[in-house]
Amino acid sequence: MNEQSNNDAEIFGLLEQKATREQGFRLLVRSYQERIYWTVRRMLDQHSEADDVVQEIFIKLYRHIDGFNKESSLYTWIYRIAVNETLGHIRKSKRYKTSDLSEAQSYHSQTTSTEGLGAKHIEEVLSRAVNLLPEKQKIVFNLRYYQEMRYSKMAEVLETSEGALKASYHHAVKKIEQYIQEHGTEAIQQ
């Protein structure tokens, strides 16, 4: 995270000065676009949809750069806007279908299969299980399990207590475990 902090400090320094703001924003886009894309993509499943939302997130960041609260970190601010924007999109488009297995299947039909049928099947089962989670648990699980985000950071991003986040994550893990036991034991054993 030190590297991350140094990078953020550089971006922040550039954004602070009007003359270097443009340069700072270019660096921000380059540093965060991939991570933000995958965070959004885990939530939205479809590439075209994720692409639209990611662009909207960065446009929003650019427009509100003056409103950036210096008390929070750049990382927290960016992720907070990304998560809120993604949730807003999901609610607006009503595409958040946790029980729709076809979406989970479509997600994995697009993956690059290089590790054989077993790994692919595990991925499918895991993805289906994650898609069945309630909205909040799904976000927490994605940020923790895939983005490897610390609870302290997640608490800042989602503006919730660390205890509540831990509880959500543990519930999510248990539900996924239960789903895997029911649907994917044989895949894991392979």
Binding residues (CB under 8 A) for other proteins: these are: 22, 25-26, 29-30, 33-34, 37-38, 41, 47, 51, 54-55, 58-59, 62, 107-108, 110-115, 119, 122-123, 126, 144-146, 148, 150, 170, 173-174, 176-177, 180-181, 188
Q: Is 1 helix (H, G, I), strand (E, B) or coil?
A: coil
CA 43, 110, 185, 100: dihedral to nearest 10 degrees? 50
- Smaller CB separation from other proteins, 73 or 142: 142
Q: Is 72 helix (H, G, I), strand (E, B) or coil?
A: coil
Closest CA to 98 of 154, 39, 34, 176: 176
- Smaller CB separation from other proteins, 30 or 91: 30
State the first-to-last Cα distance of the chain, in angstroms, to the nearest integer.
Answer: 35
CB of 20 vs other proteins, minimal distance in Å: 12
- Smaller CB separation from other proteins, 91 or 167: 167
CB of 94 vs other proteins, minimal distance in Å: 22
Which residue's structure tokens are 């270097």?
A: 20
